[in-house]
Structure 1
Amino acid sequence: MLIAEFCRRAELTRDAVRLYVKLGLLKPGTGAIGSNRYQHFDETDVDRAALIKVGQQLGFTLKQIAALNREYEAGGMDRTRRLAVMQAQLAQVQAKAAQLGSLQTYLHAKIAWIEAGECGDEPSFCGLAAVTRILGSQQQAA
């Protein structure tokens, strides 16, 4: 199938497909018609695009996915290595989840503080104390 059909089937933009090809994540066949070279994709490319999307949802960057793919294709992705990659990614996802949990807690507290008429101490969040001071001094000046 040509790129337009592939984009539709894989639910990707042409720019995304071109990037995937550039990074070596997709390797379409090429055929020439006249002076034009057309890329031809098949069902395995559609499946590979879906796998790339899963990797991105797991938090891997395209560059990481490409590197892992090269390692896999070179035969260097044994069970021990796969386990190490998944454990490292889980640690990153857990750290991000903790960070998001802190943000969520702060936002709940800030919303409650605003709804209560901004009475009492304003909730602060890590490095936001400086921002709070700046905004507070600007509000007092106005």
Structure 2
Amino acid sequence: MLIAEFCRRAELTRDAVRLYVKLGLIRPSTGGAGSNRYQHFHESDVDRVALIKVGQQLGFTLKQIVTLNREYETGGIDRPRRLAVMQAQLAQVDEKAAQLGKLQSYLRAKVAWIEAGELGDEPSFCGLEAVTQMLGKGKQAV
């Protein structure tokens, strides 16, 4: 399939496809000498993009995916290495989940406080001041 069809099937922009090709994550074939130089993508490329998207949803950066892909292709990912990578990623996901849990609790308390007519003490988010200072905005009412 040509790039337009591949973009549609893989749900990627042309720029994203070009980046993936440049990074070596997908390798379309091209016509031989004397024929057109169009890139031809295959069903396996669509599958590979789906796998890349799963990796990104798990929190892996594109740079990490490229590195892991190179290791995989050279046979460098044995069981202990796979386990270490997955354990490290799980720890990062757990940390993000804990942060989201705190945000969720704060938002629920804030919604309940507003629904109750903003009576009593306003819910505070522990650490909110540090976050807003990091953004250069100082302490703000939320």
TM-score using structure 2 length:
0.84
Separation in 1, partners of 2:140, 2:101: 25
Residue by residue over 1:72-119, the C-alpha shift from the partner in whole angstroms, topping out at 9 and shown as x without a partner, is 112110011001111111111111000000000000011111111111
Separation in 2, partners of 1:60, 1:135: 34
Deviation at 1:41, TM superposition (A): 0.8
**What residue in structure 1 maps to residue 74 of structure 2?**
74
Residue by residue over 1:5-58, the C-alpha shift from the partner in whole angstroms, topping out at 9 and shown as x without a partner, is 111222222122112112211111222697963111112111111111111121
**What residue in structure 2 maps to residue 37 of structure 1?**
37
User: For residue 64 of structure 1, what is the amino acid of its counterpart?
Assistant: Q
Runs of 5+ consecutive residues of structure 2 not aligned to the other structure: 133-137
Q: RMSD across aligned C-alpha pairs, in angstroms?
A: 2.3
Separation in 2, partners of 1:86, 1:54: 13
Separation in 2, partners of 1:59, 1:107: 24
**Larger strand proportion, structure 1 or 2?**
1
**What residue in structure 2 maps to residue 64 of structure 1?**
64
Distance 1:116 1:33, change over 3 A: farther
**What residue in structure 1 maps to residue 135 of structure 2?**
none
TM-score using structure 1 length:
0.84
**Larger helix proportion, structure 1 or 2?**
1
Separation in 2, partners of 1:51, 1:29: 20
Greater gyration radius: 1
* Greater mean deviation of Cα atoms: 102-111 or 25-34: 25-34
Whether contact under 8 Å (1:2, 1:38) holds in the other structure is yes
- Equivalent pairs counted in the alignment come to 136
Whether contact under 8 Å (1:32, 1:38) holds in the other structure is no
Separation in 1, partners of 2:32, 2:78: 39
Q: Which of residues 106, 117, 141 in structure 2 aligns to 1:135?
A: 141
